[in-house]
Chains A and B, each alone.
Chain A
Amino acid sequence: MPNLKDLKNRIESVKSTRKITKAMQMVAAAKLRRAQESAEEARPYTKRFNAVMGGLAASVGSSASAPRLLRGTGSDQTHLLVVMTSERGLCGGFNSSIAKLARLKAQELKSAGKTVKILTVGKKGRDNLKRDLGDAYVGHVDLSEVKRVGYVNAQDIARDVLGRFDAGDFDVATIFFSEFVNVVTQIPTAQQIIPASFETAEGESDGAVYDYEPSEEAILADLLPRGVATQIFAALLENGASEQGARMSAMDNATRNAGDMIDQLTIKYNRTRQAAITNELIEIISGAEAL
């Protein structure tokens, strides 16, 4: 039987754990609001950009003059998986679900005889995939010093990816991130960025024929690399919001669990204390009766 002192210590320690998780939950809630705001503010740009690119890509099509970023290299032998996760843990299944999706995809590609290369963004995913796919790592982007993800960060990653593409290191690039639906739902998502695919907006109806300055091809060649950065930026923002959402609900659960545990321990403490008192009373009474 645990003695009273031990139980008391135990209750104190769980109480301080609860305080910490509660604080983390509130911090995550505040950060989530900010992350959601920046995701919201980035949306018009991404939407417009994709609409224009969709139109351009459709008109240039897959003709031989189309830039390689749109057309692809003509093969799909080597795949680059860009796995974007968080720098910090304690956010429930956020990192592991992204890593799981990436792992499945990598295994699928490998069994089809393709070569897989992995670029990790964020420490947690790197640690998570190291055992199975560590030999496929080609690079890592560290964002742990970054307080608030900006477009520059996305540009850096895009430059890295494009540099590898120009050097012929891979044929197809896919990014893995978590799409933010709401606080309790984040969907791990894979999105192909090279060759570029733009879902053509269904409202492409106004039928305006645009003049292009300079030529369509030149604009496309200028904008495609920016498109990669834009997509990565959007994914980073979604990821940021998802991470905070996942952390918030994970910490909410942890706080509740700690509360339950405190209740149980308190009952146990009270019972033990009562048992000790009863014991002492019995001893006193039976001592008195014996006289």
Chain B
Amino acid sequence: MSTVSPAPAGGPPPAEQHDPTASAVSLEARDGRQTGLKAIFGGGEAASLRVLIVLALIWIVFTIANDRFLTAGNLTNLTLQVAATGTISVGVVLVLLLGEIDLSVGAVSGVAGSVVGVLSVQHDWNGWLAIVAALLVGASIGLLQGSIVTWLGIPSFVITLAGLLTWQGVQLKVLGEQGTINISDPVITNLANTFLAESLSWIVAIVAIALLVGGTVLGRRRRAAADLELEPMIRLVVRLASIAIAILVAVYVVNQDRGVPVSLCILIGLVIIIDAVVTRTRYGRHVLAAGGNEEATRRAGIPTKRVKTIVFVLASTLAAAGGVLAASRLLAVNQSSGTGDVLLLAIAGPVIAGVSLFGGRGSVWAALLGALVIGSISNGMDLLAFESSVKFIVTGAVLAGAVILDALARKRRLSQGRS
């Protein structure tokens, strides 16, 4: 904004202010974030890369400690283990993006699992119907909690903490005296216990890569046609190539064992859909905006209360979906479904993978990456036959480290912004 305009009639001419400050200011802007620097996974590129490096380190350490860690069989197990928690985490990411928290997701997943079990086993419901019912229960819980949080302005921390207790009680009630229900309906059990045929898995992988490359090229063409800044070609090629190779290697490896788990496909599908919602739709933009500055968002005419309530509905629904996957994998639900460390791991995953607790920053892919990090730690320590005491301590330390990094990054941002 150097003042080169013709001096307006009224006030004194705004002086020759081709000042040095102006150029200093523009230099500063360049340091911010560069144009077209679309992150590898939609969110912050640096954050995603950091997580991948952490993941690689964890894998290296465990591979050295136990050569069974990096086998096709174990990696397939790993994906099976993370599917349920990862699905819950997808919803947690949305809530975190708002700068809120949902402590009830574990309990909601337990309730959903119980609903599926009771309806399918005790009431002979069709498996699909039972799943839909469980998801609806989750959505209703989210609507209730979200409404209370937004319309009454009660901190989400408190309401969802109350929800945690309440829904655990509901779960015990739903399960009844037996306390454990074994699920046999193939529709439900197949979710987490079947694998894509090898040929199908390759087709899916190829189609996914083709869509990714095609979409990227198309987007680049449109940007070029609109005469906008483009991402450097080398970076683009490296990014696409590494993603494609990662997909192909992953598919190849798991195909050495049982194949690509259906539950993993469900998780990745959900991540892709929710990521598209967050990064590419108006609604997602409003979620990010509300997480960044709720008052500003409200003043921009955006119905922030509705936006926030819907996030809680989505989070609880995804938690319910995670509960269904967990029930499917266990072939049963019981009184401890969704309790214990389910909640903590579902929240820790995204935070470890770079979703800010302060709202507005992070990628949905953090749900998958974070679940992989936590799942790898847990899986590796199981292989090494560590006691659960050690597992808790290590996982806790990793979480604390991630949160400290987040806080430091925020501090740096605050001191950088506003000169």
To the question of whether A and B form a pair in one complex, the answer is no
